[in-house]
Chains A and B, each alone.
Chain A
């Protein structure tokens, strides 16, 4: 085996193998996109896109994802900074726990939230403070639960890459600790922050599992874009589903373009 792959022949075989994998993946992605197109025509696509239900879903998704992104970032910035900079007992355990939402299935996360709101404390919050279960705030909560861990992870690696000595020098120049954070760390974390905002937002838009479990899938009430796909397919309205799929693809491409434009390179996930 080793002898067979030595020298120029090995190089050629390796190049062919990797290039083939690339071609297969590209053909697969393009193929499913074309097949999605073939299920619809412009007229059906446009009328689906401008239907009241889909416009509602677009609006709801944009609003909830934006709120969820703001909340996630407000939580993730201090949390990521603390994990990156401070040493405390049990730090590794906390660090691993914060990764759980990334690894656990979103449906399970939604179910955990649902179970929580069935406990006395959860029920009291749900009944007296904000109604989350099968309601729109539930969408935001589900999205925040799923995406904040992602935001923490992205921001932690950003803060890790910033040498703490920049803050130390800033302090010798007269900055208080918070001033050093706002005047030095945040500007240095600019690229990471932009990437986190965009990716968190894009991920929140696409969130389905936790949302559907906690907030339900009620037409024109808790119907975000992914829920709209689910409902359209459930009622065998493939044209509508395809319209929504293209909206989601458009948002994803837009998000990636924004990152590339603002940061000037591919962000390493």
Chain B
């Protein structure tokens, strides 16, 4: 268990203010916040890379605030991996175990185990500079895991790879987490990534932790206005029935509004949520068949900064849509006007009924 108590740190332009939270054993904990919020500095404090003068960090009942990084046994995967260029893949992975004077047999057994776990057995002899982004990520992960750390820290692990790789890495990180049951701290600025991966999410803004909660609670009950603002006040719909369509897609009936939603679980979907910016609005009917496309009526328009919020009624349900103001200006929307909306299927989040 990690406990951060009243941690404050000023580092150049970053200022962490009175940060306190607890991470449970085996938890997948995501620290979410916009860039410049102090996420990386906070993670570096956990790794022991900054001298913390105010506040304390405890790990499994031990005060580690003053411990050097090498005394903490916390695995750290930096954002751009920082693989040692003078060592090949094998050399990188075994760097930490060799320091601990592992025997040739234990080292080779560990390497094989990690090679299987991460699917990188075929890369061992390669120069790290010739690896793709996803491969580098896996090697950096293997290097951090090789010493059997008590905690794994992942700094924006999916931000430097392309979308397809990010998707497979996301699944892989969850699988590895399930398999190893290793307490994992993952930082990201991507809300969807946090909601998909986290057991619990901590939202950090301007060096202050705003809320620590499971993703569902964060989405449905944002703890403060700034959290609600950051998350973007999602449209939440209650669902009556759900029906498997196959290939991870489920059809839900939200009191008359039939939606196709991505859902891997087996339980009944009780609620779905979609952010206002993930709903498209059009004045004309979109050509062809569209999944989750509906006719709607504009009920209110509210310009807010660089975006315009439009409320509309779809089959007696009120939905909020957000469009950038430059797009709004090109449209001819008035209250009472009929429009067409598409709810982007892949952006809809589902929550199963609690049993």
Show the binding face of A for B, using Cβ within 8 Å. Answer: 163, 165-166, 168-177, 179, 183-184, 187-188, 190
Contact = CB atoms under 8 A, between A and B. Distances in A.
Contact of B86 (A174, A177, A188): A188
Contacts, number: 61
B85 A175 contact: no
B329 to A, nearest CB: 44
A168 B44 CA distance: 9
Contacts of A170: 84, 95
Contact of A175 (B47, B48, B76, B99): B99
A174 B47 contact: no
B39 interface: no
Contacts of B75: 172
Contacts of B73: 174
A172 B99 contact: no
Contacts of B86: 187-188, 190
Interface string B71-95: 0111110100010111000000001
B84 A184 contact: yes
B68 A169 contact: no
A57 B271 CA distance: 90
Contact of A171 (B69, B100, B144, B147): B69
8 contacts: A163-B82, A170-B84, A172-B48, A172-B75, A173-B70, A173-B95, A184-B84, A187-B86
Interface of B: 44, 47-49, 68-70, 72-76, 78, 82, 84-86, 95-96, 99-100, 143-144, 147
Most chain-B Cβ atoms within 10 A of its Cβ — which of A166, A171, A183, A190?
A171
A183 B84 CA distance: 10
Contacts of A184: 84
Contacts of B82: 163, 165-166, 168-169
A172 B48 CA distance: 8
Given A165-B82, A166-B84, A187-B86, A173 B96 contact: yes
A170 B78 CA distance: 12
A22 to B, nearest CB: 35
A192 to B, nearest CB: 13
B76 A172 contact: yes
A184 B87 CA distance: 10
Contacts of A166: 82, 84
Contacts of A177: 68
Contacts of B47: 168, 172
A170 B99 CA distance: 10
Given A172-B69, A177-B68, A183-B95, 19 more contacts: A165-B78, A165-B82, A166-B82, A168-B44, A168-B76, A171-B49, A171-B68, A172-B49, A173-B70, A173-B96, A173-B143, A173-B147, A174-B73, A174-B99, A175-B99, A179-B99, A187-B86, A188-B84, A190-B86
A174 B100 contact: yes
Given A175-B70, A176-B68, A188-B85, A168 B49 contact: yes
A170 B91 CA distance: 13
Given A165-B78, A179-B99, A172 B70 contact: yes
Given A166-B84, A168-B69, A188-B85, A174 B78 contact: no
A184 B78 CA distance: 16
Contact of B74 (A163, A165, A172, A188): A172
